[in-house]
Amino acid sequence: MPAPGASRRFIGVDLGGTQLRAALVNEAGSVVRAQRVLTDRAGGPEAVVAQIEALVAEMRDDATQAIGIGIPGAFDAASGVVLGLPALPGWAGLALAARITASSGLACVLENDATAAAIGEWRAGAGRGCDHFVYVTISTGIGAGIVVDGRLLRGARGQAGEIGHCRIADASDPCSCGRIGCWEAVASGTALGRRAARVAAAHPEGTLARLAHGVPVRAAHVGTAARIGDAGALALLAEEAVWLGYGLVNIQHIYAPERIVMGGGVSQLLDLMADGIAAVVRERLLPGFPHVPIVAASLGDDSGMVGAALRASEL
C-alpha cells in the first residue's frame, strides 16, 4: 500500500504487433518511467504474456494500484478475455486480465488500444478540455477512439471505433481484413509504404530507393525524402493527404467533434499534409459544419500507455 498522502500510480501496457510498451503513470497522467521491448511474436501468446509480466514487475512500486492493457483487437470487457487479435494470432480465448492479476496481485483491465490512446489524449494530452473529440491513429492500420458529450463511446463489447474499415474507395489493394476499398487500405501507413515501394521500384536511382538501402520501403522513408524536397515523396504525401481528408471529413459528419487528434506513425508527417487535408475538407464538408482543428497527438507514442493506465485508475 502507498504511504499516507502518497500519489496513487498505475501501470499502462500498450500491446502491439511489433513493440510492447509499459509505463508507470501517476494520477495526473504523467509518466514516471517507461520501458519497451520487441513483441515476441514467434514465441506466441505465452511468451508475450511472460513479457508483460516482466514489464509489470519492472514498472511497479509501492504506490501501484492497478494495471490497464491496451490491446489491438476484440475482447470481452466483463471477463477480460481476448476474443481475437488480427496482428497476433493464437490469442482467442486467453483470459489475459485474470492471468496478469494472478501473477501480479493487482487488478487488471483490458481496453482497445485506440480507445486507450484516446483516453490518454483526452485526459492528459491534445484532447484535454474537449467534450466532443476523436482520436484517430494512422499507422500499420487505422482505428479511432471517440468522446461524445463528455463520455467515451465504447459500443457493444467495446468495439466502437473501427473506422479504418469504412469503405471510401471503389478500388484498392486488399485491406488487412481482406476486403477492398477500406480507408485503411488506402490511407494507412502500410498503404503509403506500398505506394512508395512501387515508386522506388520504378526509380531505383531515386531518393526513396537510396534511403531504403535495400530494406522494404516504408512510410517513414517517404517523410524523410519529402523533408529534403524529393518530388516523388511530396507527390506521395499529396495523394495520402487526399485519402486522409476523405476519412477525416466522414469523421466530422458522423461525430461532429470539436477537435480531431491524430496519432500513429503517419501523424509525424501531418505538417507536410495539412494544406492538402484542409483542401479536401473545404471541398467536401457540408455547410454548417465548422472546420475543426486536426492536430497531432501531444503524448506521441505514450498515448496508449498513459490511457491504459488512466483506464486502470477507474477500477
Q: Is the dihedral of CA 206, 207, 209, 213 positive or negative?
A: positive
Q: Is residue 218 part of a domain?
A: yes
Q: Please, is 117 exposed, middle or buried when counting C-beta atoms within 10 Å of its C-beta (0-12, 13-18, 19+)?
A: buried
Shared domain for 106 and 134, answered yes or no, is no
Q: Is residue 2 part of a domain?
A: no
Shared domain for 81 and 154, answered yes or no, is no
pLDDT at 182 over 70: yes
Q: Binning pLDDT at 50, 70 and 90, where does residue 73 land?
A: confident
Q: Is residue 1 part of a domain?
A: no
Shared domain for 99 and 115, answered yes or no, is yes
**Alpha helices by DSSP H, 164-302:** 183-187, 189-202, 207-212, 219-227, 231-255, 270-284
Shared domain for 76 and 223, answered yes or no, is no
Distance CA 113, CA 15 (A): 8
Q: Is residue 143 part of a domain?
A: yes
Shared domain for 133 and 109, answered yes or no, is no
Q: Residue 265: give its domain's CATH number.
A: 3.30.420.40
Shared domain for 166 and 227, answered yes or no, is yes
Distance CA 153, CA 115 (A): 9
Compute the average pLDDT of residues 83-100.
Answer: 93
**Domain tally, the chain:** 2
Shared domain for 109 and 137, answered yes or no, is no
Q: Is residue 166 part of a domain?
A: yes
Shared domain for 104 and 24, answered yes or no, is yes
Question: pLDDT exceeding 70 applies to what percent of the chain?
Answer: 98
Distance CA 92, CA 82 (A): 5
Shared domain for 240 and 210, answered yes or no, is yes
Q: How many Cα atoms sit within 13 Å of 224 on the Cβ side?
A: 13
Compute the average pLDDT of residues 164-183.
Answer: 94
Shared domain for 23 and 169, answered yes or no, is no
> Measuring CA to CA, how many Å separate 16 from each of 20, 112, 183, 243, 292?
6, 11, 21, 25, 30
Nearest Cα to Cα of residue 230 among 241, 220, 222, 238? 222
Q: Binning pLDDT at 50, 70 and 90, where does residue 287 land?
A: very high
Q: Is residue 217 part of a domain?
A: yes
pLDDT at 5 over 50: no
Q: Binning pLDDT at 50, 70 and 90, where does residue 106 land?
A: very high
**Total residue count of the chain as it appears in this document:** 315
pLDDT for 74 equals 87
Q: Is residue 290 part of a domain?
A: yes
Q: Is residue 177 part of a domain?
A: yes
Look over the chain and give the mean of its residue pLDDT values, rounded to a whole number. Answer: 94
Nearest Cα to Cα of residue 127 among 295, 311, 308, 306? 295
C-alpha cell at 253: 459528419
Shared domain for 175 and 226, answered yes or no, is yes
Domain that includes residue 36, residue range = 9-119+302-312
Distance CA 203, CA 180 (A): 27
Compute the average pLDDT of residues 233-244.
Answer: 98
Choose the most confident range, by mean pLDDT, from 76-80, 174-178, 193-197. 193-197
Shared domain for 154 and 278, answered yes or no, is yes
